[in-house]
Chain A
Amino acid sequence: MHMDINEIIKPENLVYTKPRLMNDNPMHYCPGCSHGVVHKLIAEVIDEMGIEEETIGIAPVGCAVFAYNYIDIDWIEAAHGRAPAIATAVKRLNPKKMVFTYQGDGDLAAIGTAETIHACNRGENIAIIFINNGIYGMTGGQMAPTTLEGMKTSTCPYGRNVALNGYPLRIAELVERVDGTCYVTRQSVHTPAAIRKAKKAIRLAFENSMAGKGTSMVEIVSTCNSGWKMSPVKANQWMEEHMFAKYPLGDLKNV
């Protein structure tokens, strides 16, 4: 018997839907990239908290520069690395609003390290979503401060050599030590279970910001399958084997 599609698409049959705050713009992210999943979680959290009219996002320079094309809230596009300074002013001038930054590892942990540390140290009531994919995705796969030892990128084609390039920088461990942070956690989005945990973490970070508890940072250890030159599945496996060893998942601070 032929069944009409509209008979299947009924509210009672609905098991999954695109978040209400994600719009229909085609995403520019590579298939398999973690950015899109994290966008989805942020959109869901904002919707579930009912704060879309109060939320201002600060987009980075990096692959997520166009985050403002996908989540249907007001956005400010920052200069490379400066999002925490921008968020500082937005929140201080609008203390009742939800202000968050969304930043990659080059943005947050290289060019914007000073802005990151000092926003955290002042305990700005903002949430920082930190996408650590160990590479500069947007500019074509150059070395990031977070690139693992031995990992090959276009600017360390023979693998990161610590004698030449220094060590992978663990930002979460750094800001955990800073008194202004209230919540520092490291998550990932490579399995359904991890995605659920990451969403909880983002929600807690947002709740902390609204409650004025200080700075929250949610680091998401992520894949950049294009930059890593791996299939999406292989990239997830490689992340579990290598990235999690240097960047172990879990809460570093929750006060």
Chain B
Amino acid sequence: MKEDIKLMKGNEAIAHAAIRYGADGYFGYPITPQSEVMETLMAEQPWTTTGMVVLQAESEVAAINMVYGGASCGKAVMTSSSSPGVSLKQEGISYLAGAELPCLIVNVMRGGPGLGTIQPSQADYFQATKGGGHGDYHLITLAPASVQEMADFVALGFDLAFKYRNPAIILADGIIGQMMEKVVLPPFRKRRTEEEIREQNPWAALGKPKDRKRNVVTSLELDPAIMEQNNIRFQATYKRISENEVRFEEINCENADYLIVAFGSMARICQKTIELAAEEGIKVGLLRPITLWPFPSEAVARQADHVKGILSAELNAGQMVEDVRLAVNGKVRVEHFGRLGGIVPTPDEVLAALKEKLM
């Protein structure tokens, strides 16, 4: 079969991939730099082809609760936004986690805090990987570094979300959302029928047949003894995810003397940095976490056994570096390099920082 190769923005790739995945619904609210997701969906009108519902909500609060409603019916539903909007979604995300509902959330990050800037940033790392809303929970956090991964992680995110009954988030940034690249679009999958959904998700609230007890989708439990058991079950799920779903990429790590850990657009920049370093005879490897939660701690720890120092390069003031330090556990020096507020560094700026902080 001929491959479906297109040139498009990361945000557009998300929209096309969602239609092709057989997503049942998208609910969003406009915000730069991710508005192309809903704009593309509205232009494509998938309700006339696959039957996918696309709705512009009155707010991000409403949008995430629409996702909660769709997910409660066992449907494959998603939303996308950028940092200020994702802050508004946190209440709903906590409820989704508490009710053990699968869904896909996309955050095309911009600089904050507050209204901040529309320029790219990775400053929502803590929010995405440590929970974000109230309560003890985690989101399966995927960090795409290309338009291709924007497309691919839609299916991956949905599949993982349904496998573990837990929300998944694609944590991209303004660069990945806005840049245009070649992308091979995934093949079309059929949306699941109601019968398939009932069979695969017996917990879904789709109307109660006579032969089963009523389904109640809720995060509420007033009896603390039961609520503790619920939390223990959530933690067991997070443990299974941590054991089975860590994803990362290693470039030139085997004989490296130094290691850069970077994700998303920053990893793309650092790919060039390690080339520049090699030209100067400095052996630098790049470890790119693909899942930010669960974090590839063991992979980082393995590198710490043989490198002289590690640089965590991020578009923030030092967030992932905390997870790198936890993984390394004092074995070697770990430093952070970051640009803030929407500024994107050049590859040699990162190299200069590596030399200054680690050599």
Contact = CB atoms under 8 A, between A and B. Distances in A.
Interface string A79-110: 10010011111101110010000000000000
B219 A77 contact: yes
Given A85-B62, A89-B77, A94-B206, A74 B215 contact: yes
Given A65-B220, A73-B214, A93 B24 contact: yes
Nearest to B74: A93
Interface stretch (B63-71, B148-156, B296-304): B63-71
Contact of A79 (B25, B58, B65, B73): B65
Nearest to B208: A74
Contacts of B99: 77
Sorted nearest first, the 4 A-B pairs with minimum C-beta distance are A86-B69, A77-B218, A89-B69, A89-B66
A56 interface: yes
Contact of A115 (B62, B67, B72, B77): B62
Interface of B: 24-25, 27, 53, 55, 57-59, 61-63, 65-70, 72-73, 75, 77, 91-92, 95, 99, 194, 205-210, 214-220
A72 B208 contact: yes
Nearest to B92: A79
Contact of B72 (A72, A73, A76): A76
A108 B95 CA distance: 18
B208 A73 contact: yes
Contacts of B219: 77
Nearest to A71: B214
A46 to B, nearest CB: 11
A78 B68 CA distance: 8
B298 to A, nearest CB: 37
Contact of A53 (B24, B58, B77, B207): B207
A114 interface: yes
Contact of B58 (A65, A77, A86, A115): A115
A74 B209 CA distance: 9
19 contacts: A52-B208, A54-B207, A58-B69, A68-B218, A73-B207, A76-B216, A78-B68, A82-B65, A82-B68, A85-B69, A86-B65, A86-B69, A86-B72, A88-B69, A89-B27, A89-B53, A90-B72, A93-B75, A114-B61
Contacts of B57: 85, 118
A55 B207 CA distance: 5
A59 B215 CA distance: 13
A53 B53 CA distance: 23
B25 A89 contact: yes
Contacts of A54: 207
A118 B58 contact: yes
Contact of B66 (A55, A74, A85): A85
Given A92-B25, A93-B25, 12 more contacts: A53-B208, A73-B214, A74-B208, A79-B92, A82-B65, A82-B68, A85-B57, A86-B69, A86-B72, A88-B62, A89-B67, A89-B68
Contacts of B75: 93
Nearest to A97: B207
A114 B208 contact: no
B70 A89 contact: yes
Contacts of B53: 89, 92-93
B255 to A, nearest CB: 52
B14 to A, nearest CB: 19
A90 B215 CA distance: 14
Interface centre among B27, B67, B69, B95 (most CB of A within 10 A): B69
B62 A82 contact: yes
A230 to B, nearest CB: 27
Nearest to B194: A94
Contacts of B95: 79
A114 B58 contact: yes
Given A68-B216, A79-B95, A85-B57, A56 B206 contact: yes
Query: Most A CB atoms within 10 A — which of B55, B210, B216?
Result: B216
A205 B210 CA distance: 24
A58 B207 CA distance: 12
Contacts of B69: 58, 76, 85-90, 93
Contacts of B65: 78-79, 82, 85-86, 89, 115
A87 B66 CA distance: 8
A160 to B, nearest CB: 27
Nearest to A54: B207
A75 interface: yes
B77 to A, nearest CB: 7
Residue among B57, B61, B66, B210 with most chain A CB within 10 A: B66
B207 A56 contact: yes
Given A76-B205, A93-B75, A82 B214 contact: no
B252 to A, nearest CB: 46
Contacts of A94: 73, 194, 206-207
Contacts of B70: 89-90, 93
A82 B92 CA distance: 9
A114 B204 CA distance: 27
Contact of A88 (B66, B206, B208, B216): B66
A189 to B, nearest CB: 24
Q: Which of A59, A65, A79 lies at the interface centre, i.e. has the most chain B CB atoms within 10 A of its CB?
A: A79
Contact of A74 (B25, B27, B68, B207): B207
A93 B218 contact: no
Nearest to A56: B205
A77 B96 CA distance: 11
B250 to A, nearest CB: 41
A229 B75 CA distance: 45
A16 to B, nearest CB: 24
Contacts of A118: 57-58, 62
